[in-house]
Amino acid sequence: MASGVTSQASALKRKDSAPTREGDQLIITPLGAGNEVGRSCVYMSYRGKTVLFDCGIHPAYSGMAALPYFDEIDPSTIDILLVTHFHLDHAASLPYFLEKTTFKGRVFMTHATKAIYRLLLSDYVKVSKVSVEDMLYDEQDILRSMDKIEVIDFHQTVEVNGIRFWCYTAGHVLGAAMFMVDIAGVRVLYTGDYSREEDRHLRAAEIPQFSPDICIIESTYGVQLHQPRVIREKRFTDVIHSTISQGGRVLIPAFALGRAQELLLILDEYWSNHPELHNIPIYYASPLAKRCMAVYQTYINAMNERIRNQFANSNPFDFKHISPLKSIENFDDVGPSVVMASPGGLQSGLSRQLFDRWCTDKKNACVLPGYVVEGTLAKIIINEPKEVTLINGLTAPLNMQVYYISFSAHADFAQTSTFLKELMPPNIILVHGEANEMARLKQKLITQFADQNTKIISPKNCQSVEMYFSSEKMAKAIGRLAERTPEVGSTVNGLLVKKGFTYQIMASEDLHVFSQLSTANITQRISVPYTGAFGVIKHRLNRIYESVVSPQEEADVPTIIVHERVTIRHESESLVSLQWTSDPISDMVSDSVVALILNINREGPKVIMPAVENNNNNNKREEETERMAQKVTFALLVSLFGDVKVGEEGKLVVTVDGDVARLDGKNGDVECDNEALKDRVRTAFRRIQSAVRPIPLSAS
Amino acid sequence: MGTSVQVTPLCGVYSENPLCYLLSIDGFNFLLDCGWNDFCDTNLLQPLSRVSSKIDAVLLSHPDILHIGALPYAIKHLGLFAPIYATEPVYRLGLLTMYDYYLSRRQVSDFDLFTLDDIDAAFQNVIRLTYSQNYHLSDKGEGIVIAPHVAGHLLGGTVWKITKDGEDVVYAVDFNHRKERHLNGTVLESFVRPAVLITDAYNALNNQLYKRQRDQEFLEAILKVLRANGNILLPVDTAGRVLELLLILEQYWSQQHLSFPIFFLTNVATSSIDYVKSFLEWMSDSIAKSFEHTRDNAFLLKHINIIINKSELENIPDIPKVVLASMPSLEVGFSHDIFVDWATEARHTILFTERGQFGTLARMLQVDPPPKAVKVTMSKRIPLIGDELKAYEEEQERIKKEAALKSNVNKELRASQGSDAKAGDTMVIDASSSHISSDVTASRVGGFRDIFIDGFVPPATSVAPMFPYFENSAEWDDYGEVINPDDYIIKDEDMNGASAQGFGGDIDNKLDEGSAHLLLDTTPSKVVSNELTVQVKCSLVYMDFEGRSDGRSIKSILAHVAPLKLVLVHGSAEATEHLKEHCSKHVCPHVYAPQIEETIDVTSSLCAYKVQLSERLMSNVLFKKLGEYEISWIDAEAGKTNDMLTLFPVSSTPPTHKSVLVGDLKLADFKQFLASKGIQEALYVAASM
């Protein structure tokens, strides 16, 4: 097994140079999320099967620029596309890919992901303020894509074109999955975003039962370590509590779905336990999240035991202290309050409007609860600059307190390293991480797995990772064929049946037993008009075939059997019938028999026709033959030597690598300095002559 | 050699008795279903009791009494301790079905074969799987893979596929190939050529109407009765087929804007519907699709009143109504009581949607012509009064005293062992109430919080409030005070603790309040019964909503699946014989229908060995593609590499072999082929040939 990172171009070159290994080559190419966070999309191909993991957009860009590098691949070759969860950076380019490209494979995601995907993308289309030509897709495209998306439940094994795959709980958000793909025994695990920590409503990511050969893993948090969840939750509630007790307002910019539900659970519970806070309103400004509540209420089986137990009593997502907020116009900003608003990066929308309004007051606080993407305002204010640019272009002093308390359910270094230690994959590919973090993680993992010969690779976008898996093709011999195990040196003959990537060897008689295929016999019967005596046929056949017999039992009409294959029956005075079971040899025999019968029909003497023809006619014919022969000779020489010209005196001039040979078309004399060429031309001419001229009758 | 496979029926062959079979694969014993009948007849479990301790795994296929009923009893009394495998809905709905069954029984008898706790204990061992999940067994079952697949019939219903060494054993009972409102059809037809198929002959002699026609007749029949001012009772199961009926009614009611009330009455009605709402993943594609598009849960029933108490039904005025009540047998449960109330009036109708179990009241009423009168036992649980109460209390007192006496003896024993243990008890630091201050923000927060006085109550004996003082009686050793490290560990679950308490255990919450009183009811009570004869004047209708494939479809499915060996179970003797005869003619030569405790060996006569295909051989192989198969003829020579049998290309010219023609030649295809090559063809049917 070898692996290495090469560019796409040289990957193609290698393919040409090593065609024999092509089948065993596994290629993984990140089309997005290679050394970056956003637009997750990883391409994988092995043994002519192609899988695409995720299909996201980059939240910091808009229009075509936000897409993964789809140009690098041919969408029509992709067999399956697996989407891990509903976040925009993992699913939002799906309608584009399904509707605007040549993709014709199948798409899979979990039930919850599909339900939220539709709501989320409709919202994304509405909210994103780009010009019409920059729009990647519209509402109609999303609806159409819904019909093409198939659902898969956790642990359910699905097989498509010989690719087997199933998914595990990933813990990141509701419905998030890690996909395990098995192609011809080589297993690849794609984690998507995952978290190994159980929280208020989600289960921790599972550790797969089988170790994969390749693990494509996210590296969002690199080598950072999360504080324990309890401490984070306490910091979060304490910050909020202290801010509002001082009369300040708290802004929580959060993405509408996923972690926001977790934060709401925390806040609602905290408020229930602190009656003194009941007069402080909590607003949740997301109609989208409200619409998604039904999904959260339904797919409780994808959540943890805690929620399932609460569900028995009452719906935990029916918040008692949190009220929805439609828009900033409906917001009565009079006293302390807590507002959770999207988007999480403060790019635009309600969270930005509130930020602009509140950022100058030092009593106020902004709590950033999740991973902040490079290039957004949220990333800028983390470093607490003195001034910020408002949405109207003016600058304002940044006085409000900014806290960064991460609740984004991504694995930290401790989780990543224990996860990998449990799995022990021989190859690790890092994606979905900012370049620096990823490099640090890679270094640390290399030291950790130093003695295990583990390969750790972090390809950039469009950079292909190639690996070779020497596949041991195993076959199972079954049925009659397997009645005794062959000794070394004995032969095995039978049908090799391949289905997907499994091979079976069986006797042809067993084919219908072990597969849906069946064997068939084709009996052919042909009637040939024949008026001559039947004995003539037998006589002629006897001269060609060794075994021409009449059947033992008396038939109603005269019958002969040739080589136990073809039965010839003299049906009537004017008809002979042939019957045989189709196979290459019988077909050939029967063909010759038919030709023979037809020839007898045309009267034997025709064979010596040329002899009785008159001379005049004969001469003309000879001339014609001669002209034809010359033409054919010339054409054959051209095809043999390439550069052939007709020189003076009807001589043919053959030029090969500078050597010139002159060939006399009449008698076959060759003039040439190069002995080798001379010989070759002479031989060629002799052979051509013998082929194009009729065999002289006098010779026989 | 192939894998050894034996099947031994323990119950439910040549009859419609509950299902329970033993399947052993290379010595690993599977119990396929563990059903019981409506009377909890312990005699039926005799065969099971003889093998129960040897069982390694239990596979459940449907959440109804016939498939899971005996589970609590078997685990409690028969020593069944193997892990149980089932899908999530079979687990949940099965649990609720058992609750409902127990509560219905308990209401009218001193039912003591198992208790609610036994049900809970039994279902604790259930390992939940999803459809098409390949679950690899470990230890003794190493190499065996089990996978549940969609069966139809009931929510979560399962066709089990058990695979070892590439050989499939399929257990498919009560499947339904038709897609219904809430369920997809079975995927049984996608299994081709399993080594063994175990299936039932229950419906082999039944043929059904078309679904649309049947639904229409069903609704018309109901409406006719309602318009004639009558009530309709549908005796239904707890959470199985009733779901389909509810959907049919709900849909029709909202289409037609009908105002007749519908009631769904079981002991666990509300919880079962709540759980069903969260099982959308397991239902039909159309339900999933409508949820994805509109987020309307199909089981958000607007026209159906879900009630758990018969008194609610009695409180409403006497207007025409539809009542779906458990149990389907009419032997016990709400359906029994309602039947007795309504049977005497001709305007009412009892509509059966499934065949009753043999010997039950439902079955008696389904015969043609229906009986004029039936004898029923009315039983009631009433609280004890007067002398009986006194006697009961005395008995309880006596038991208590005995227990106390026993524990006293124990206590004394313990006390004599060590008295110093008590000294440490007083020194309990309440770590959970002392907040963690391991955070930067904590210092700022502290200023505006009230002083923590919770739990500080001045002792009654003291003159003035004072802090409690505990004498420090800590032990010391050479290294200082002996501490309990647990006291100093920061409790991780601090934040969760507060909320978790409010929700309590899993089991208690699942029960509806109405039935909870029965559970927690400690008031002494007894059962009084009186026999009475009920004149059956109401009309009785039977319509098949069992949701099983009918005889014709079963035959065509079996012919399509074409197992190498077929085992028939569960079905009346005639049905079993009929199907056996049919299958041995049309499906496969090896059809078995074993008797109870008769072990049949269905080990396939299949020989097999594994070989490695060398790269040299494979590079010479040219495959022909045929559908999803690729085929090639190989002539190879056996050799060895690394102890593995390997095939290499033959060194000499291979002997000629008979050419093999694979696939069906169809004249139509041939014609098309000729046409595509531009050859004019004329095909005639030659009748004389």
Contact A450, A235 (CB under 8 A): no
SS3 content of chain A, % helix, strand, coil (to 5): 40, 25, 35
Residue A166 Cα, gap to closest chain B Cα (Å):
8
CA-CA distance, A233 to A244, in Å (whole number)? 17
CB distance B635–A492 less than 8 Å?
yes
CB distance B503–A313 less than 8 Å?
yes
Check pLDDT > 70 for residue B9: yes
Report which of B139, B146, B178 is spatially closest to residue B23, judged by C-alpha positions: B146
Q: Per-10-residue mean pLDDT for chain A, 700 residues long?
A: 43 40 80 90 92 90 88 93 93 92 94 90 78 79 92 92 91 92 91 90 90 92 88 91 91 83 89 89 83 84 83 77 83 86 81 88 89 80 86 88 86 92 92 91 91 89 89 79 78 83 82 78 86 83 83 77 85 86 86 86 52 56 76 83 77 81 77 82 82 58
Residue A663 Cα, gap to closest chain B Cα (Å):
43
- Distance from chain centroid for Cα B296: 26
Instruction: Note if A226 is an active site residue.
Output: no
Residue from B129, B611, B616 to probe the interface with A (highest A Cβ count within 10 Å): B611
Residue A487 Cα, gap to closest chain B Cα (Å):
7
Percent of residues, chain B, with pLDDT higher than 90: 28
Contact A671, A679 (CB under 8 A): no
The whole-number pLDDT of residue A133 equals 67
CA-CA distance, A236 to A230, in Å (whole number)? 10
The whole-number pLDDT of residue A136 equals 86
Check pLDDT > 50 for residue B45: yes
Closest chain A residue to the Cα of B131, Cα to Cα: A156
Residue B189 Cα, gap to closest chain A Cα (Å):
13
CB distance A497–B629 less than 8 Å?
yes
Run of H or E including B263: strand B262-265
Catalytic residue among A87, A90, A410, A432: A410
Closest chain A residue to the Cα of B89, Cα to Cα: A301
Report which of B277, B97, B279, B609 is spatially closest to residue A504, judged by C-alpha positions: B609
Residue B508 Cα, gap to closest chain A Cα (Å):
9
Closest chain A residue to the Cα of B658, Cα to Cα: A583
Give B185's contacts (C-beta < 8 A, 6+ positions apart): B150, B152, B176, B177, B178, B179
CB distance A521–B634 less than 8 Å?
no
Tokens of B626: 């045929």
CB distance A518–B663 less than 8 Å?
yes
CA-CA distance, A446 to A449, in Å (whole number)? 5
CA-CA distance, B269 to B265, in Å (whole number)? 6
pLDDT in tens, B319-373: 899 999 988 888 888 998 899 888 888 889 999 998 888 888 888 888 877 888 8
Of B503, B628, B634, the CB nearest to A496: B634
The whole-number pLDDT of residue B441 equals 42
Give per-residue burial for A163-176: e unless 16+ CB within 10 Å, then b.
Answer: bbbbbbbbbbbbbb
Q: Dmax over Cα atoms in chain A, in whole Å? A: 129
pLDDT: which is higher, B297 or A650: B297
The whole-number pLDDT of residue B344 equals 87
pLDDT: which is higher, A523 or B87: B87
- Which residue do the tokens 């009926």 mark? B245
The whole-number pLDDT of residue A365 equals 92
Q: Which residues of A touch B291 (CB under 8 A)?
A: 115, 294, 298
Closest chain B residue to the Cα of A291, Cα to Cα: B295
Q: Which residues of B touch A482 (CB under 8 A)?
A: 607-609
Which A residues, 124 through 163, put their C-beta within 8 Å of a C-beta on chain B?
146, 151, 153-158
Give per-residue burial for B564-585: e unless 16+ CB within 10 Å, then b.
Answer: bbbbbbbbbeebbbbbbebbee
Least confident of A228-232, B247-251, B463-467, B536-540: B463-467
Distances (CA, A) of B598 to A19, B217, B593: 59, 44, 10
Residue A458 Cα, gap to closest chain B Cα (Å):
32
Contact B130, A153 (CB under 8 A): yes
Of B166, B494, B510, the CB nearest to A230: B494
Of A234, A495, A521, the CB nearest to B495: A234
CB distance B609–A476 less than 8 Å?
yes
Pairing status of strand A548-549 against strand A559-562? antiparallel
CB distance B609–A479 less than 8 Å?
no
Contact B588, B562 (CB under 8 A): yes
Residue from B503, B666, B689 to probe the interface with A (highest A Cβ count within 10 Å): B503
**Half-sphere exposure at residue B497, Cβ-oriented, CA atoms within 13 angstroms:** 10
**Is B190 in a helix, a strand, or coil?**
helix
Of B292, B629, B660, the CB nearest to A114: B292
Check pLDDT > 90 for residue B658: no
Helix axes A305-313, B269-277, angle to 10 degrees: 140
Give per-residue burial for B607-637: e unless 16+ CB within 10 Å, then b.
Answer: bbbebbbbeebbeebeeeeeeebbbebbbbb
Whether a cis peptide bond, with omega within 30° of 0, leads into A281 is: no
Check pLDDT > 70 for residue B506: no
Report which of B538, B184, B540 is spatially closest to residue B356, judged by C-alpha positions: B540
Residue A582 forms contact with B (CB below 8 Å): yes
DSSP A39-70: S-EEEEEETTEEEEE-----TTS-GGGGS--G
Residue A110 Cα, gap to closest chain B Cα (Å):
9
The whole-number pLDDT of residue A257 equals 79
Of B509, B608, B628, the CB nearest to A482: B608
Of A309, A311, A498, the CB nearest to B629: A498
Q: Which residues of B touch A209 (CB under 8 A)?
A: 136
Give per-residue burial for B268-307: e unless 16+ CB within 10 Å, then b.
Answer: bbbbbbbbbbbbbbbbbeebbeebbeebebbbebebbbbb
Give ipTM to 2 decimals. Answer: 0.76
pLDDT in tens, B184-195: 999 998 888 888
Q: What average pLDDT is seen over chain B? A: 81
CB distance B500–A306 less than 8 Å?
yes
